[in-house]
Amino acid sequence: MRPARSPLLLSLLGLLCIFGVGALSALGIWQLERRQWKLNLIQEITLRVHAAPIDAPGPPQWRRVAAGDYTYREVRAAGEYLNDRETLVQAVTRFGAGFWVLTPLRTVEGFTVFVNRGFVPFESRDSASRIRGLIGGATVVSGLLRISEPKGAFLHANDPGADRWYSRDVAAIGSARLLSTIAPYFIDADASPVPGGLPIGGLTVIELPNNHLVYALTWFALALLLAGAAAYVVRGEWRTHRGSGGVSAGS
């Protein structure tokens, strides 16, 4: 017959199991709270995307922009494109690999905001090959407000010295282009027709994964398994102790 474990060891194992079940259950509850937060965020962004356009926020509102109050809000800005200072940022879209065309717009209010005018394939990276798509003079642009993407992509850091850009880092790009009073955001231009067809605007992808329910169920399942394993051990120890007691009584 298997010898019974010491009461001290059983107490320690029991405490560890209680702590483990509690911790796993707390993680499951946290994921349910995160799920509700994500649902609220998705609803808020959906309302912003479909709300009436507002003027692009100027310097007095930039603190609120940094706090995320305007993200994915439809905005419009009037001004003049600085086409000679456009920047190409590597991109992959449903049209394949190529570049985002990020062009500074000097607004009538006096600040500069970068506009992601849209996508161009590799063979159209040279602005001379899409001269018809360069907009000169006064213009008005509308699109979704996006927060700057500092430093670079996951596997590639921006290299201003080599003029290689993997993210739309408006502060770094503005500094490289010798611009001042730059908005801490950029505008993803809408799908308005462009002479010559390039750049292709209106390609903003809004993806907010919401897998928190799956994560919550996983944590709760692990808590249940741990509780079941602990109950199995306790039952086995109880039978062992009872069996040991029966042998002693009969001898």
What secondary structure, in 3-state letters, does the chain show?
Answer: CCCCCCHHHHHHHHHHHHHHHHHHHHHHHHHHHHHHHHHHHHHHHHHHHCCCCEECCCHHHHHHHHCCCCCCCEEEEEEEECHHHCEEEEEEECCEEEEEEEEEEEECCCCEEEEEEEEEEHHHCCHHHHHHHCCCCEEEEEEEEEECCCCECCCCECEHHHCECCCCCHHHHHHHCCCCCEEEEEEEECCCCCHHHCCECCCCCCCCCCCHHHHHHHHHHHHHHHHHHHHHHHHHHHHHHHHHHHHHHHC
Question: What pLDDT score does 227 carry?
Answer: 84
Q: Convert the pLDDT of each residue in 54-65 to its tens digit.
A: 899 999 999 888
What's the pTM?
Answer: 0.70
Q: Convert the pLDDT of each residue in 172-189 to its tens digit.
A: 999 999 999 999 999 999
Q: Is the pLDDT of residue 6 over 70?
A: no
Question: What pLDDT score does 248 carry?
Answer: 46
